[in-house]
Structure 1
Amino acid sequence: MTVLYLQERNKSRDENDNAIKIGPNAETHGQNQKTAVCPNDPIKGMNYTTAGKTGIQGRQFLICFTDNHEEAVNQPKTIYILSDEDFELKLISKFSTQLIKDVVTPTRNLIEINVISAVALSDFKIEEKALLIETTKDVSVIIIDNFITSSDSTGILPIKSTSNSYVISTPRAFNKTLGPQFAIASPRNGTIIKIHFHFDPDLPTTIDGITYQNGSIMLLVLNELETYEIYHIVDLSGTFIDSTSPVAVFSGSFCHKVPFENSTDFGYCSKLDEQLPPIDRLDKMYIVPPSFKKMGTVLKIVSPFQTRLTYKIGNKQTEKILQPRGFFEITFSDKDIVVIDSEKAVLVTTFATGSNDTDGPYMITVPGFRQYTDKYLVMVPENFKENYVTIIIEEKSLYNLILNETKIIHYLNDRKFYTTVPFRKMNFVVLVLQVNGGLLRVESTDTAAFGLIVYGHRKHDGHGFAGKAVLPDVCVPSHQ
């Protein structure tokens, strides 16, 4: 028996207090910021074997829906909650008692909640638009903003896996209209947040009468279930967020065009949306698959640390040195694999390119090698024309995979993409399968950890998300 509650908590901020004073290079007073002393290598001594049994499961989740295209104003947003066990849940909101449009429970493992479009965030406003989910059993949560031509999806990290420090990855601004955005949501009262801006190029922006430049610091305070969204017409990658208590951070664009290299065929704009992992949950090693049936993929690597890394495409290996807040992009085709090996933890995101022939773009936070887990339960949205999963697994364990109680060998004749990738004295397989919409359970019978990415295409639109797992704590540098 599953019971759904909606609670509207008391308002925590007077209307006149809605615009907390914020300013460049502001300082906090009266509260201690959580910092850590870092060795030269924050992950030194950690085991390199794949290990990650927690995935994205938990019992508390904080959600917000970032801004979408203005034509999506009447389109509901969807929350999928999945579990192997019967569970009860509470959906807690300060925003509205009329938040929910409808609830669908097609199976005992899945609850689909559609919420009103008014819950979407607005730029440069403190709003009470975060949603808190609490459950009696471990669940996974996936959200999708599902407008017919401007959609994207993301897996949600449980609150226990959020933290105080983040580095931002966004797409490059496409033009003076289609720029990137990121948003912050707080589960607690009195959370003091410092945003250390990084603008590329260095184009100042004015917020509430205050001008911010590259390197400026914005200070704001968020109370329980409050959100704040920032938009600019330059790349915001490398921006740091530090907070006095854990927050959830989402990044992307309300509607974006992502061309492949210098192509002038970039199709329609589409929403980009991803919940970002905190710095203390990032990895150093990644196998980055292509975006299947796309002209190509734009890969962005953002480093919170000074680090040396290598990336390899085919037989060509390139070395890079990144400074703190540094980032770079590369593009690769739908037949290539990128292998990344960094001395220190980095954030890796991809942007599937769009075109008139290959549908719209979407954004994915790529799971690191040690962020894989041995079992995923995900929802594949059903109203996309084509749905795919990418699986990254050590070759020796491939035939131990099971999809919805069917052995992987029964899918291999219909595979869409298959290649082997050598990595650290191991051989991995990158496999793309076309799947039906609906509940998808993927697991390995030998408990081998693997990566999973889900995405879908339809005319002028697309979405994608990764089955996320998180690392144990690593140290987080202070960004004062």
Structure 2
Amino acid sequence: MIINRRPQIISLSILAGLYCLSCVDGVSPRHCHTVRNCSNEEVCFTESHYSENGEIVFDTGCGTPETCHSGRNTRYNIKSVHGVDPHYHHSECLECCSSDLCNNQGCGQPGFPAALTRGPVCFDCQQVSHPMLCDKIRVCETNQECYLQKEVEFGDVFYATSCINKHACTSSLQIFGKRRSVHCSHCCQTDLCNNDCGASFSSTTITTQAILTESTTTEPLNRGSQGEEFLILFMRNDPRANGSEYAYILSHIENSSSVQITSSPHLEHAIRSNVDSIVNFTSFINIPFPYNLTCQYSMKEPKAVLLKISEISTIIIFDAFYKHSNDGTLIIPTRKLSTEYLVSTTAYSSQFAIGSFHSKTDVHIKFNISYNATLSLFGKNYSTGETCSISLEKFETIQIDHENGDLSGTFVTANKPFALFSGTRCRSFTVYRCSHMVSQIPPVREYDNEYIIPSFYKNVDTLSQIISPVGNIVNITIGANTKTIVLQAHEYHNFVISPNLTSIVKADHPVQVIGFAIGSDTNDPYMTVIPGIRHYLDYYKISVPENYTDNYLCVIIPSQSLGNLKINKLPVNDFTTVFQKEEQSSGKTYSIRTLSVSHGVYVLKTTDQVGFGLLVYGHKEYDGYGYAGNFVLP
């Protein structure tokens, strides 16, 4: 049954009340990242009560002063006003206050860090029809400000808000020219300042390629996977692996740059002495890391490493330390880390690893294990649906594996942002050799709902996996055939794309899509996150590693912009095309080109600033690697 709903018309002029944190059953008020704009008569409340598990939890939101003044044991009334079904009737605490976000420290709980030790609290929405409709917030780092950017695509106007590094803003207003007022791109420095294009912003503006005039040569800053701060870890490979692991750092400027590499003070001294350093480089550098930095199974270890770079950069890591079992992955910057992830992998030597970015990070792992198998961790056996809770300190890691089962759909959450990597230790889909597979996994909040999936060239087949964070309806089109599937929350679906075919995936709600190259009689499997259409960027700087016999760049680009794509300043037709195809999605025609390239550094950009998707992969005897140019929202 299809229900047609009339669009809701909201008068923005009435949104003049307080902004209050608005969450249910949170571990602490200050960890709520959803806000509600209250009516003029309402105030902010904090209410605490015992959960069914006997734990004190907190509700926050808007309430009337009369309800607040009625005292304790009024949770039913508060939650009725708040629009949530009341399932407890006795409050341990009920407090109200009357300033923006004041309930971050309600009921005696610690609030946000002092203003001098943090950045501003900013609205944090990737796409809203009006900035005042954003209902998500984020506490920025001290080196960040709030930003607001108006964007226009296909004639539709929408707004993006979040945190941005301070020097991605510039006091020069000339860089925007006459387009500045059209694009409404601003930075500001106070709490909740980035929700009004007509407000008095600081005299700073965001420098991004999407809003530069044609005469400017500045490359895009802080878009998607491009950033200045990255958290990396290395997952376990074949037991025979004993060589170096590598991080490829590609600065978006050609001048001198530097990277500061910092590990945990608790890391073994013999390892740390080969990790911590400051390295100067020009344009790009390949930095080796010792093999004993690799995570081991089922133990907490201080093995995450932080890389801070002086200029906006892209990072790809390769655990290329065994001749027949390697893979690589794009690394997303720390500003894109979040608190909810879904594991994606395959059966047999399935594994994932967690890297903590903050101290006192409380991680909760709700397992999904195929074949009704169990998993032993810290002396306890876990089955599907059971949750393991672990507390990690800054830069601590834990890697979890299952020798036979598939851990896909395992839901990992925490009270603070962290990094998740997933893959297999050594997996074979065919009769040929097994190969290590790894990819950093994007947070749930970075998913898209529309994907174009090309098959991997020179592979027997391409296995694709769709995972949904919520109940969902997904349409999968391959050629002339469309299949509709229904997924429950955290459920996944695998399907195969034959050689020389592509697939279109469209979902009612955002999903995660992973591609697995099956391998062939000459190369072994590898995996990568597949970028959604909203992940497409107009600029990439990537590295193709040495020692692979054939390497490929696969671009997915609106057909009208194919002629505007330059690779190292050369047109696409200057490269050997091994596969090409056109696909229709949402009324637009996309060209898919797989190009054969040699090893080296490549800059890909469109002169008309139209975004495109990018996959990078390659093969050698009994080995392969693959990664995406970007898989988080710009």
**TM-score, normalised via structure 2 length:** 0.64
Match of 1:135 in 2: 309
CA shift for structure 1 position 253? 0.8
In structure 2, how many angstroms separate the alpha carbons of the residues matched to 1:298 and 1:135?
36
Match of 1:19 in 2: none
Match of 1:79 in 2: 247
Q: Deviations over 1:269-297 (max 9, x none)?
A: 11000000000001000000111001111
Q: Among 617, 622, 631, which residue is 1:460 paired with?
A: 622
Residues 76 and 101 in structure 1, CA contact (< 8 A), matched pair in contact too? no
1:434 aligns with 2:581: no
Q: Deviations over 1:75-130 (max 9, x none)?
A: 1000011112232220001233332499998x721111001100000010100100
In structure 2, how many angstroms separate the alpha carbons of the residues matched to 1:223 and 1:255?
29
CA shift for structure 1 position 406? 1.0
Q: Deviations over 1:232-276 (max 9, x none)?
A: 1211111111111100000001111123xxxxx3x1011000000
Match of 1:15 in 2: none
Match of 1:63 in 2: 232
CA shift for structure 1 position 35? 6.2
Change (3 A) 1:101 1:31: closer
CA shift for structure 1 position 408? 1.6
1:114 aligns with 2:279: no
In structure 2, how many angstroms separate the alpha carbons of the residues matched to 1:144 and 1:346?
26
Match of 2:299 in 1: 125
Tell which has more relative contact order, 1 or 2 (C-alpha 8 A, sep 6+). Answer: 1
Change (3 A) 1:31 1:430: same
CA shift for structure 1 position 231? 0.2
Match of 2:359 in 1: 189
Match of 2:412 in 1: 241
Q: Which amino acid aligns with 1:125?
A: M
Change (3 A) 1:284 1:43: farther
Change (3 A) 1:343 1:28: closer
In structure 1, how many angstroms separate the alpha carbons of the residues matched to 2:554 and 2:542?
13
Match of 1:358 in 2: 522
Matches within 5 A, 1:5-404: 34=32, 36=34, 49=153, 54-72=223-241, 74-85=242-253, 86-94=256-264, 95=267, 96-100=271-275, 108-146=282-320, 147-173=322-348, 179-232=349-402, 233-259=404-430, 265=431, 267-355=432-520, 357-404=521-568
Q: Among 583, 589, 598, which residue is 1:421 paired with?
A: 583
Q: Deviations over 1:195-226 (max 9, x none)?
A: 11111122112212111111110000111111
Residues 262 and 275 in structure 2, CA contact (< 8 A), matched pair in contact too? no
In structure 2, how many angstroms separate the alpha carbons of the residues matched to 1:354 and 1:322?
28
Match of 2:157 in 1: none
What is the DSSP-based 3-state SS (H/G/I as helix, E as strand, rest coil) of the residue aligned with 1:397? helix
Match of 1:476 in 2: none
CA shift for structure 1 position 340? 0.4
Change (3 A) 1:348 1:63: same
Residues 233 and 303 in structure 2, CA contact (< 8 A), matched pair in contact too? yes
In structure 1, how many angstroms separate the alpha carbons of the residues matched to 2:34 and 2:381?
31
Q: Which amino acid aligns with 1:400?
A: N
Change (3 A) 1:379 1:104: farther
In structure 2, how many angstroms separate the alpha carbons of the residues matched to 1:364 and 1:268?
19
In structure 1, how many angstroms separate the alpha carbons of the residues matched to 2:397 and 2:247?
18
Q: Which amino acid aligns with 1:362?
A: Y
What is the DSSP-based 3-state SS (H/G/I as helix, E as strand, rest coil) of the residue aligned with 1:118? helix
Q: Deviations over 1:287-311 (max 9, x none)?
A: 0011100111110000011111101
Match of 1:407 in 2: 571
Matches within 5 A, 1:437-452: 437-452=599-614
Residues 31 and 415 in structure 2, CA contact (< 8 A), matched pair in contact too? yes
Q: Give me the CA root mean square deviation.
A: 2.5
Change (3 A) 1:446 1:71: same
Q: Which amino acid aligns with 2:586?
A: R
In structure 1, how many angstroms separate the alpha carbons of the residues matched to 2:596 and 2:355?
35
What is the DSSP-based 3-state SS (H/G/I as helix, E as strand, rest coil) of the residue aligned with 2:317? strand
What is the DSSP-based 3-state SS (H/G/I as helix, E as strand, rest coil) of the residue aligned with 2:458? coil
Q: Which amino acid aligns with 2:225?
A: I
Residues 260 and 278 in structure 2, CA contact (< 8 A), matched pair in contact too? no
Residues 104 and 112 in structure 1, CA contact (< 8 A), matched pair in contact too? no
Change (3 A) 1:404 1:84: same
CA shift for structure 1 position 354? 2.1
Residues 345 and 422 in structure 2, CA contact (< 8 A), matched pair in contact too? yes
Residues 49 and 370 in structure 1, CA contact (< 8 A), matched pair in contact too? no
In structure 2, how many angstroms separate the alpha carbons of the residues matched to 1:83 and 1:230?
33
Question: Which protein has the larger Cα radius of gyration, Structure 1 or Structure 2?
Answer: 2
Match of 2:145 in 1: none
Residues 149 and 270 in structure 1, CA contact (< 8 A), matched pair in contact too? yes
Change (3 A) 1:428 1:229: same
In structure 2, how many angstroms separate the alpha carbons of the residues matched to 1:120 and 1:320?
38
In structure 2, how many angstroms separate the alpha carbons of the residues matched to 1:293 and 1:354?
8
What is the DSSP-based 3-state SS (H/G/I as helix, E as strand, rest coil) of the residue aligned with 2:514? strand
More displaced stretch, 330-339 vs 92-101: 92-101
Q: Deviations over 1:428-466 (max 9, x none)?
A: 011000101011111111101000110010000000000
In structure 2, how many angstroms separate the alpha carbons of the residues matched to 1:430 and 1:358?
24
What is the DSSP-based 3-state SS (H/G/I as helix, E as strand, rest coil) of the residue aligned with 2:319? strand
Change (3 A) 1:471 1:48: farther
Q: Deviations over 1:308-352 (max 9, x none)?
A: 110100000111111001111001112110000101010100110
Residues 314 and 542 in structure 2, CA contact (< 8 A), matched pair in contact too? yes
Residues 130 and 227 in structure 1, CA contact (< 8 A), matched pair in contact too? yes
In structure 2, how many angstroms separate the alpha carbons of the residues matched to 1:149 and 1:102?
30
In structure 2, how many angstroms separate the alpha carbons of the residues matched to 1:388 and 1:222?
39
CA shift for structure 1 position 32? 6.7
CA shift for structure 1 position 66? 0.3
What is the DSSP-based 3-state SS (H/G/I as helix, E as strand, rest coil) of the residue aligned with 1:183? strand
In structure 2, how many angstroms separate the alpha carbons of the residues matched to 1:102 and 1:245?
27
Match of 1:262 in 2: none
In structure 1, how many angstroms separate the alpha carbons of the residues matched to 2:127 and 2:472?
13
What is the DSSP-based 3-state SS (H/G/I as helix, E as strand, rest coil) of the residue aligned with 2:272? coil
What is the DSSP-based 3-state SS (H/G/I as helix, E as strand, rest coil) of the residue aligned with 1:150? coil
Change (3 A) 1:305 1:49: farther
CA shift for structure 1 position 136? 1.6
What is the DSSP-based 3-state SS (H/G/I as helix, E as strand, rest coil) of the residue aligned with 1:68? coil
In structure 1, how many angstroms separate the alpha carbons of the residues matched to 2:421 and 2:566?
32
Aligned residue pairs total 428
What is the DSSP-based 3-state SS (H/G/I as helix, E as strand, rest coil) of the residue aligned with 1:88? strand
Residues 259 and 279 in structure 2, CA contact (< 8 A), matched pair in contact too? no
